[in-house]
Amino acid sequence: MSERLEAGLNVLRAEMDKKVMSFFSSCVRCGICAESCLFYTETNDPRYTPIYKTEPMRKLWKNEYSFWGKLKSTLGISEPMTEADLSDWEELVYDGCSMCGRCSMVCPVGVDISMVIFKVKHALAVAGFSPEGLVGATKRAVEIGSPMGITMKAVLATIKHAEENTGLKIPLDVEGADYLALLSSNEIALYPEYLESLARIFDHAGVSWTLSSAAYEATNSGLQIGNKAIAGQLVQRVVDGAEKLKVKNVISPECGHAYTALRWEGPNFVGKAYSFRVVHILELLDELQAQGKLKTTGMETDRLTFHDPCSIVRRGGIQAQPRNLLGPITNNFVEMTDHGSMNWCCGGGGGVSSNERAEGLKHTAFNRKKSQIEEIKVDAVVTACSNCRMVMEEGLEHNEMDIPLLGLTELIAEHLADKPH
């Protein structure tokens, strides 16, 4: 047995808990999960059926944990896992799954399919079966501080421009602030107006906040590639930065995987509870609005819709908040046919957008979102995830559709009422 295969199998064995074994015992192979997955619906390729992507783990369970598997092993007639199994499933798991979790929502027997797929990703990553694009992004996140290779020098340049454009001071490394704001690489490189919007909103609402030079980037490539050790290392960087500045709250940016890694998986990754609260930017804006600290004016007359980022709405339950925020500033808002917790993914989550090899499949999968947008004939799409925004911009451009993508935080900033003098 090769070292790579042994490493992968050892991870699968370590991840084979009672919950996973019960899932495989319960699955009736009904195929309902297939119709919930845009990689299947848009390709009609049965290999992209969600439960099929868990096959390496199911095969190990069948061979080593089921009664018949143990019997076959005793008789010497079992079919052991091979390195080819891991190699074959690497493409299916990394290219054809955005970890959106929609399949887990529809399983009639409650199998958390996306959770099992993540365990398979963990085994593949440790065994060295991962796409070059994701490997590179993860390496840059660990060694440089950002999956896109963005250094603090670039962040300082973004801060300088934000200060020039807003006339406001961007706080950096302020000890004792109430909130530590994190950014995603996309927001630094592609959407710097997000930072400007934070500055305007927090000045308007009187929020005490800061950035950290030690923990400025929130995107967790370890989560995307499936390597729990690296995911924990990146979360610990944020924990250290927050504890150093003694902040009470950490704000996850408009990035679904950053929110999942920090809010829901982070304490498990680092092995302890936080000394601070993690809040998504939409949760905070909704709180400020409810407290009367966030006041808006004016109305968007364009026909708008909202794309619910998968990790934020399905894993985080943030469904009412964006609509609470949009309500006072829109008078022509329309929902997509499938929205909220049953939204369709943009097709680029789970590291797919960092995987150059998956580019063609990603565009094919985007056809589901394209159909949703075309059906309701909107002038613009609002979202709250910079990765979703980037992927949808690419998808719309690929399909020659001239529909703007708007960040919700920036839209709120554009409608801020004047501060009372």
Contacts of 414 (CB under 8 A, 6+ apart): none
CB 99 within 8 A of CB 112: no
Q: pLDDT tens digit string along 113-140?
A: 999 999 999 999 999 999 999 999 999 9
Domain at 3-129: CATH architecture: Orthogonal Bundle (1.10)
Query: Nearest-CA neighbor of 302 among 404, 385, 373?
Result: 404
* DSSP-derived 3-state class of residue 300: strand
pLDDT at 382: 98
Average of per-residue pLDDT across 351-375: 96
The predicted model scores a pTM of: 0.94
Domain boundaries, the chain: 3-129, 134-290, 304-414
Query: Nearest-CA neighbor of 62 among 124, 6, 1, 16?
Result: 16
Tokens of 42: 């848009």
CB 223 within 8 A of CB 250: no
Average of per-residue pLDDT across 185-189: 94
Q: What is the mean pLDDT of the chain?
A: 95
CATH 3.30.200 fits 304-414, yes or no: no
pLDDT at 420: 61
User: In Å, how far from its chain's centre is CA 4?
Assistant: 28
* DSSP-derived 3-state class of residue 305: strand
Average of per-residue pLDDT across 23-29: 92
CB 186 within 8 A of CB 158: no
* pLDDT score of 69 more than 90: no
pLDDT at 421: 53
> Phi/psi of residue 411, each to 5°?
-65, -40
Identify the H or E element spanning 307. strand 304-307
- Work out the percent of the chain whose per-residue pLDDT is above 90: 93
